[in-house]
Amino acid sequence: VSMLPLPHGRQPRLQVEYAHAASPRALLAEDALAVFGFGCDEAGLDDPRYLRVPLQPFRTAANATAPYEVWHANAPVEHGRDDGIRWATDGQLLFGAIEVDENPEAGGVEAAAAIAYARLVAFTRRSGTPHLLRIWNYLDAITLGEGDAERYRAFCVGRAKGLGDFDAQRLPAATAIGRCDDARVVQVYWLAARTPGLPVENPRQLSAYRYPRQYGPQSPSFARAMLPPPGSTMPLLLSGTASVVGHASQHEGELLAQIDETFANFDSLLAAARERAPSLPARFGSGTRLKVYVRDRDDLPTVAEALDRRFGNTVPRVLLHAAICRRELAVEIDGVHG
Ligand code: 3EB
């Protein structure tokens, strides 16, 4: 890894912004750790800090152009490419991204996930920022296949293999979502830090790493949320959250009830996080950013209206068309809160 030594005196800083711009280049300021463009027709940019996320954004009359997501850290940010990984760091935080093609003759999605995670872990461990805080996983046709042959379950097996020996109580927060461009490529991007964060579990939900066997041979490897390292200027990192109570999906076929249940899960998760970080606001507001993943394209306007009713314009959010990893789940939400 050719990362230059960067000043360590400062505390980690992360600010997530949804920004409209004619091109992502305009958003690559000196403090930009990462810039994300959503959708399949997003042209993009050849810079290690720029990542095209293959999920179609929902456009409304008021939101004719899709926003970019920008991660601001401490300037200056160093960036580069190593071993198929694009990375950027300010010495406190690391953004990394890897994409691994699935080869059906060589293990398919399971092997691609194992390769992606083994390289992610090796790279991050030998960097100056070895502590994983948050991981996003995007894979195609996530619920294709029956029983243990389902692609999400195979992904979970590959992820755990790539992670190697891990302590379930120290897993990062995560999202695993279906991309919708038919590309059989596992895309993984992550945020790591020089000092460890504190994983938070949700008292309303069984820890995902303890899910029973009925959901697959390998339970999903993630924490429900991650509190940032002490002293940092960073939000709480919220994992993908859906209408799951205990380990069971709730309200099959009832979109609005699933949304309400998801926010009930967030209320409980925030209460758990506030036991460790009392200054964290108890409710979502102007310091929150949400990404809302909606399985059926036709549900997008209904979800947009439900969020308008709940939050008005107080909580910045992006709606994305993306498949959830259980067929009965119509919506999943992740984000940051501070
Ligand atoms: C759930 O609660 C919904 O496998 O990384 C949410 C967030 C979900 C992350 C993952 C899966 C993952 O089980 C699914």
| Amino acid letter, 173 | A
Which residues constitute the domain of residue 19? 15-337
pLDDT attached to residue 66: 80
Tell me whether residue 1 is in a domain: no
Query: Does the interface ipTM go beyond 0.95?
Result: yes
Residues in the chain, pLDDT under 50: 1-2
Residues 293-323: tens digit of each pLDDT: 999 999 999 999 999 999 999 999 999 999 9
Q: Cα of 125 to ligand 1 centre, how many Å? A: 24
Task: Decide if 74 is inside a domain.
Answer: yes
| CATH code for position 142 | 3.30.1330.40
Ligand 1 within 6 A of CB of 154 = no
Closest listed residue to residue 320, CA positions, set 155, 158, 136:
136
Q: How far is the CA of 300 from the centre of ligand 1 (A)?
A: 20
Residues with catalytic annotation? Answer: 332
At 1 the pLDDT is 46
Residues 84, 70, 39, 326: what is their CA dihedral angle, to the nearest 10 degrees?
80
Looking at the domain assignment, is residue 5 inside a domain?
no
In a domain, 4, yes or no: no
Mutate which of 332, 333, 334 for ligand 1? The one with the most ligand atoms within 8 Å of its CB, which is 332
Q: Is the CB of 172 inside a 6 Å radius of any atom of ligand 1?
A: no
Give me the number of domains the chain comprises: 1
CA distances for 326 relative to 137, 147, 153, 181, angstroms: 15, 12, 10, 19
Residue nearest to atom 14 of ligand 1 (CA): 325
In angstroms, what CA-CA distances link 281 with 125, 285, 302?
32, 8, 27
329 CA closest ligand 1 atom index:
3
Per-residue pLDDT at 10: 83
> Ligand 1: does its nearest atom lie under 6 Å from the Cβ of 124?
no
Distance 152 CA to ligand 1 centre (A): 10
In this structure, the chain runs to a length of: 338
CB 102 within 8 A of CB 184: yes
Is 2 within a domain? no
**Within a domain: residue 216?**
yes
